Structure 1
Amino acid sequence: MRHAQDGAAAAMSAASRILVARGKNEPQEVENPDVAWGQRARDGVWVPTKDGQRIHFGVDTAAADTPAQMLRPTLRVFVGVDVDTDIVAQTTAGGVRLLTVIHGPGAPAEFRFPVSLADGLVLESMPSGGYDVVHLRYGATVGRLYNPWASDSMFRQVKADYALDGSVVTMRVQHADAYYPVVADPHYAR
């Protein structure tokens, strides 16, 4: 148990330093009763869309059965979800952030997030590199998976992008020449 607490503290510290350096425009952690977290990383999170439906983001990693270290209702840490990797999961006013903390060069460069959409919704690629959740019947955007950003411990930008394969969004982070820890931010909002 002590190792998990130390891991959660290290992940939180890394994520906090990077977020503070990024400034005030970052989505803030707040309570959102429309967001429902699972107990394990694999269980992921159910998030709302603008039209009242819900979509699901899972976390598909080597240790996807990792239970959450719940720090408060709006913040949990999945320690050791993969080699040298933790996820700091935040609830925001409009959705969630899955801050992926990469602690060393042995960490994977790709992180898979299976997405389950409600009937009539699709993911549509955007020029920004993110994905809009679009209601097919009305053509309206009802949610958005923002283009990921990544930063190393020297606050240098690290290349990060998404690839979509069926219903799985893969975040790719090119962290080989970075100063660790690296924090990458998949962020969804309705």
Structure 2
Amino acid sequence: MRHARDGAAAAMSAASRILVARGKNEPQELENPDVGWGQRARDGVWVPTKDGQRVHIGIDTTAADTAAQVIRPSLRVFVGVDVDTDMVAQTTAGGVRLLTVIHGPEAPTEFRLPFALADGLALEAMPSGGYDVVHLRYGATVGRLYSPWACDSMFRSVKADYVLDGNVVTMRVAHEGAYYPVVADPLYSR
């Protein structure tokens, strides 16, 4: 079994390599006082919407009681949130990234993100494969879960998509045959 500190370093290293390869258009890690993290993976994160409300995104994994290693206020790592899986969670200017680092073929292919929405908000599927958080009364988009991407250690694209069941968004990552680690990126922004 890996030591927690070594696991956090490995997860951050894998995520960093992939993000650098993707280029400078990636949202940058930044402190955001409107984002509130829980202590454990199951506690998830509270994120802002454009209209001042908050959305809760949970992290539903087999090891949901995994405590966060807080590296700095805008970066935390959940080591071992599932079999062969870590999560590097970044706060950004408009929300959060939940960089899911898959270390091997035994890792799950589905990752559940339960959403708790304020009254009057709903998730609406977008043609891009992502979901908008929509204010039902005004029809305005007040937040967005961008379509996921995934990449293996050879910087090859790995198929990733979402399915919605009620208010639970499941990210599916088809990592079979990939070169590990694979990094998948759910990104929410207001």
Residue 156 (str. 1) matches residue 123 (str. 2): no
Equivalent position of 2:56 in the other structure:
56
Give distance in 2, aligned partners of 1:5 and 1:114: 28
Could you say what secondary structure the match of 1:115 adopts?
strand
Give distance in 1, aligned partners of 2:42 and 2:61: 8
Residue 32 of structure 1 and its aligned partner are, at CA, apart by: 0.3
Equivalent position of 1:78 in the other structure:
78
Residue 106 of structure 1 and its aligned partner are, at CA, apart by: 0.2
Gaps of 5+ in 1: none
Residue 50 of structure 1 and its aligned partner are, at CA, apart by: 0.1
Equivalent position of 2:13 in the other structure:
13
Q: Which amino acid aligns with 1:35?
A: V
Equivalent position of 1:186 in the other structure:
186
Residue 31 of structure 1 and its aligned partner are, at CA, apart by: 0.6
Q: Which amino acid aligns with 1:188?
A: Y
Give distance in 1, aligned partners of 2:112 and 2:177: 22
Could you say what secondary structure the match of 1:158 adopts?
coil
Q: Which amino acid aligns with 1:68?
A: A
Residue 105 of structure 1 and its aligned partner are, at CA, apart by: 0.1
Cα RMSD over matched residues? 1.0
Could you say what secondary structure the match of 1:42 adopts?
helix
Give distance in 1, aligned partners of 2:25 and 2:167: 30
Give distance in 2, aligned partners of 1:124 and 1:177: 32
Give distance in 2, aligned partners of 1:31 and 1:69: 16
Q: Which amino acid aligns with 1:66?
A: T
What is the TM-score of this pair, normalised by structure 2? 0.99
Give distance in 2, aligned partners of 1:95 and 1:66: 22
Query: 1:123-151 deviations in whole A, cap 9, x for unaligned?
Result: 00000000000000000000000000000
Equivalent position of 1:126 in the other structure:
126
Written as runs of structure 1 = structure 2, the 5 A alignment for 1:17-96 is: 17-96=17-96
Equivalent position of 1:142 in the other structure:
142
Q: How many residues align structurally?
A: 190
Give distance in 2, aligned partners of 1:4 and 1:41: 15
Residue 93 of structure 1 and its aligned partner are, at CA, apart by: 0.1
Give distance in 2, aligned partners of 1:182 and 1:42: 22
Residue 167 of structure 1 and its aligned partner are, at CA, apart by: 1.2
Equivalent position of 2:174 in the other structure:
174
What is the TM-score of this pair, normalised by structure 1? 0.99
Equivalent position of 2:4 in the other structure:
4
Could you say what secondary structure the match of 2:67 adopts?
coil
Find runs of 4+ consecutive structure 1 residues off by over 3 angstroms: none
Gaps of 5+ in 2: none
